[in-house]
Structure 1
Amino acid sequence: MKYEQIDSNLFIKNRKKFTAHMKPKSVAVFNSNDIYPISADSTMPFQQHRDIFYLSGVDQEESILLLCPDAPYEHQREMLFLRETNEHIAVWEGEKLTKERAFEVSGIRTVHWLKDFHKVLFEIMTYTETIYINTNEHYRSAVETETREDRFVKWWKEKYPAHQVAKSNPILQRLRSVKEAEEIALIQKACNITEKGFRRLLKFVKPGVMEYEVEAELLHEFVRNRSKGFAYGPIVASGKNANVLHYVQNNQECKAGDLLLLDVAAEYANYSSDLTRTIPVSGRYTERQKAVYNAVLKVKDEATKMLVPGTLWKEYHVEVGKIMTSELIGLGLIDHADVQNQNPDWLAYKKYFMHGTSHHLGLDTHDYGLLHEPMQANMVFTVEPGIYIPEEGFGIRIEDDVVLQESGAPFNLMANIPIEADEIEELMNA
């Protein structure tokens, strides 16, 4: 891995938090992701399942974590199962985890080779009454592929039909949404790498540059700072392309007078950052562009102040909508009649700001979190309002990542990344 080793105490704490929520006489199983094929002998780059990483730090395919806190023998209460490595694998694929190295990474002393999993599980099942299966219940989930976890669940139900079933996901949704200090530090590292990429771009962007060249500059800067690369598909959207919320083609020329919307950020150690800035290709905003930019920035600043413990997700977005409505009226994009006659299911402001303002951030860019529960300290959120004006040929979005504090305003993990229009202009023309 490119990233520096994470202290195993983080994963030890995470396992203790999870097992504290387990029922008596129960076992929980977590599987690595598959390596997905492309065609012939080609595969996609491996991405570890975030849940097994959160609980063990193991960042390797064909791995299984088993937790059984009530097992009669201490060595059975936490167990890792890894693909057995050998000299042939080392030559063709590179170093894999040894049992000793797996302990250093995870803090788990009992490490078996994968071939022993079924035998060990059978013994554990004789001690237990309930198994926790790990299903994907994220509110944005729309997975059509059968995962390694899915195959395990189908096999387990057939092999052990008499056991009760419980779900790991509701526990993980709650635990993963509130970050440990070590996790916040890793997200901060990802934000710092993102800052380096953005500052590099301010010197690079000019009329005639292609969107994919901008993407390449970012990737260079991210990887040279120990990141695997982008935390999500990069959006490098010039001119009218910025009005496509998930524009990822990144194949057009950046033209004089246009704005360039950059929704681009680095990952670090599987933790995401999430940045958006909108900059002028020519180095100066027009008067109209700057007016819209400052309106978006005002909404972001006001929305950020509301991210405090106790805030309810639904109410937060209602209040942000009111602020955005006022700014759109000031820009002449809507008027009071539009507001008075608005459809309650699609408010007037949504013509120009049609997406949510914030989402949880962490191991996933759209991270786990129970949206019906009040916000808590040490949750990490994005703040990303935007105004999109197809008829004027541009869109503007601005986004930072913030940590909720016990009291006072949230801590901005991206406070050092240029955001004021005047500062961006100054840096682009230095």
Structure 2
Amino acid sequence: MKYLPISSALFVKNRKKFTAQMKPNAIAVFNSNDIYPISADSTMPFQQHRDIFYLSGVDQEESILILFPDAPYEHQREILFLRETNEHIAIWEGEKLTKERAFEVSGIKTVYWLSDFEKILFELMTYAETMYINTNEHYRQSVETETREARFVKWWKEKYPAHNVAKSNPILQRIRSVKEQEELDLMQTACNITEKGFRRLLSFVKPGVTEYEIEAELIHEFVRNRSKGFAYTPIIASGNNANVLHYIENNQPCHAGDLILLDVAAEYANYSSDLSRTIPVSGRYTDRQKAVYNAVLRVKNEATKLLVPGALWKEYHKEVGKIMTSELLGLGLLDKADVQNENPDWPAYKKYFMHGTSHHLGLDTHDYGLLHEPIKANMVFTVEPGIYIPAEGFGIRLEDNVVVQEKGEPFNLMRNIPIEVEEIENLMNV
């Protein structure tokens, strides 16, 4: 891993939060992700399952975590299983976790090789009444492949049909959505790396550069600052490409007078940042571009103030819709008749701002969080309004990452990343 070591104290706290919500005499199992094949002997770069990372800090394939807080013996209450390493593996694949190093990373004292898993699980199951299985229940999930976790669940149900079944995901949705200070520090690092990439672009962009050259500048800056790279597939959308919300081709030239919508950010230690900025190819915004830009910025600033403890997700988005409607009226994109005659299920503002304003952020870019429950302090959200005008050949989105505070306005993790029109123009014309 490129990132600096993380204190095992974070993962100890995370496990305590999870086990405190388990049913009596229950066991929970968490699996690493697979390494996914492409074809022949090629594979995708490994990405650890965020749940086992959150609970253990282990960031390698073929690892399993067992939590059994009511086990009869202390050494059975937290167990890690790792792929056995040896000199041959070290030569061909690099260093893997030893038992000693796994303890340093996770704070878990009991570590076995993976070959012992079925035997030890059998003993534990004779004591347990309930198994927590880790199914993916995120509101955006759309999984078509059979994961390592899914294969385990299928195997376990066949082998232990008499046990009760519970779900880990509702617990994880709650505890992962509220960040510890160590997590906020890691996310701040991700945002700081993103800032370095964005500032690099401001002196690089000019008429004639291509979207993929901008992508290359970003990945260079991210990796040289200990990031694996992009937290998500980057969107570098010049001109009318900005009106395709998930434009990821990034293969077009950037023309004088156009804007570039950038939705690009770095990860760090598996934690995501998520930035959107919209900059002028020629280094100056036109009056119309500036007017729309500042309208989006005002919506972002006002929407941020609404992210307070106790706020409800649906009501928050309704309020942001009202703010956006007012700005669109001011820009002449809507008139009063449009608003008076709007469909309540698809308000008039949705013609120009069709996506949500915010989502949870953390180990996943669209992180865990139960949307029907009130917002809490130390949740992290994006704030990302946009106005998209295909008829005028541009779209603008602005996005920061903010931490909900117990009192007062949210804390902006991207407070140092240029966003005001004058600041961006000045930096692009140094």
TM-score norm. by structure 1 comes to 1.00
Instruction: Give the structure 2 partner of residue 69 of structure 1.
Output: 69
Match of 2:286 in 1: 286
**1:178 has 2:178 as partner:** yes
For residues 278-357 of structure 1, the aligned pairs below 5 Å read: 278-357=278-357
Code of the aligned partner of 2:280: P
1:303-343, Cα deviation, whole Å (9 max, x unpaired): 00001101100000000000000000100001000001111
Residue identity matched to 2:17: K
Q: Secondary structure at the match of 1:51?
A: helix
Tell me how far apart the structure 1 counterparts of residues 80 and 297 of structure 2 sit (CA, whole Å). 47
Q: CA RMSD in A?
A: 0.3
Q: Provide the residue aligned with 2:116 in structure 1.
A: 116
1:349 alignment partner, SS class: helix
Q: Is 1:16 paired with 2:16?
A: yes
Partner amino acid for 2:264? V
Please give the alpha-carbon distance, in whole angstroms, between the structure 1 residues aligned to 2:315 and 2:345: 15
Query: Secondary structure of 1:289's partner?
Result: helix
2:190 is matched with 190
Counterparts of residues 394-413 of structure 1 (less than 5 Å): 394-413=394-413
Distance 1:305 1:70 in 2: 44
Q: Which segments of 5 or more consecutive residues in structure 1 lack a partner in the other structure?
A: none
C-alpha distance in 1, partners of 2:97/2:403? 34
The separation in 2 between residues aligned to 1:71 and 1:300, in whole angstroms, is 50
Give the % identical residues. Answer: 84
Shift of 1:204: 0.3
- Asked whether 1:80 is paired with 2:73, we answer no
User: C-alpha deviations, 1:107-135, integer Å up to 9, x for none?
Assistant: 00000000000000000000000000000
Q: Distance in 2 between matches of 1:90 and 1:216?
A: 32
SS at the partner of 2:203?
helix
SS in 1 for 2:236: strand
In 1, the alpha carbon distance for the partners of 2:342 and 2:16 equals: 50
Deviation at 1:74, TM superposition (A): 0.4
Q: Which residue of 1 aligns with 2:94?
A: 94
Q: Quick one: which amino acid aligns to residue 222 of structure 1?
A: F
Aligned partners of 2:243, 2:396: CA distance in 1, in Å?
8
Distance 2:237 2:370 in 1: 32
Deviation at 1:393, TM superposition (A): 0.4
How many angstroms apart in 1 are the aligned matches of 2:143 and 2:355?
21
CA deviations on 1:232-257 (whole Å, 9 max, x unpaired) are 00000000000000000000001000
Q: Which amino acid aligns with 1:341?
A: N
Amino acid at match of 2:197: G
Counterpart of 1:277 in 2: which secondary structure? strand
Task: Map Cα deviations across residues 361-410 of structure 1 (whole Å, 9 max, x no partner).
Answer: 00000000000010000000000000000000000000000000000000
Partner of 1:165: 165
Q: CA deviation at 1:345?
A: 1.3
- Structure 2 distance, partners of 1:85, 1:364, is 29
Secondary structure in 2 matching 1:104: helix
Question: What is the distance in 1 between the residues matched to 2:238 and 2:174?
Answer: 38
CA distance in 2, matches of 1:398, 1:245: 13
The DSSP-based 3-state class of the residue aligned with 1:204 is: coil
Instruction: Letter of the 1:429 partner, please give it.
Output: N
Give the structure 2 partner of residue 222 of structure 1. Answer: 222
Shift of 1:42: 0.1
Residues 1:275 and 2:240 are matched in the alignment: no
User: What do residues 145-182 of structure 1 show as CA deviations (whole Å, max 9, x unaligned)?
Assistant: 00000000000000000000000000000000000000
Structure 2, gaps ≥5 residues long: none
Identify the residue that residue 146 of structure 2 maps to in structure 1.
146
Could you list the structure 1 runs, at least 4 aligned residues long, displaced by more than 2 angstroms after superposition: none
Q: CA deviation at 1:189?
A: 0.2
TM-superposed CA distance for 1:99, in Å, is: 0.3
Give the Å deviation of 1:35: 0.2
Instruction: Report SS of the residue matched to 1:165.
Output: strand
Q: Which amino acid aligns with 2:427?
A: L
Q: Alpha-carbon deviation of 1:187?
A: 0.2
Letter in structure 1 aligned against 2:277? R
Q: CA deviation at 1:344?
A: 1.4
What is aligned with 1:38? Answer: 38
Shift of 1:82: 0.3
Amino acid of the residue matched to residue 244 of structure 2?
V
| Structure 1: distance between partners of 2:238 and 2:143 | 30
Task: Give secondary structure in 2 for the equivalent of 1:388.
Answer: strand
Tell me the number of residue pairs that the alignment of Structure 1 and Structure 2 aligns: 430
CA shift at 1:75, angstroms?
0.4
Q: Using the alignment, how far apart are the partners of 1:55 and 1:344 within structure 2?
A: 43
Find the aligned partners of 2:405 and 2:324 in 1 and give their Cα distance: 25
Alignment-mate amino acid for residue 130 of structure 1: T
Structure 2 partner of 1:367: 367
Distance in 1 separating the partners of 2:412 and 2:158: 49
Query: Aligned residue for 1:235?
Result: 235
Q: Return the offset for 1:12.
A: 0.1
CA distance in 1, matches of 2:124, 2:419: 55
- CA displacement, residues 175-220 of structure 1 (integer Å, 9 cap, x when unaligned): 0000000000000000000000000000000000000000000000
Matched, 1:204 2:217: no
User: How many Å separate the matches in 1 of 2:394 and 2:5?
Assistant: 43
Code of the residue aligned with 1:380 in structure 2: it is V
Between 1:337-346 and 1:185-194, the stretch displaced more is 337-346
SS at match of 1:343: coil
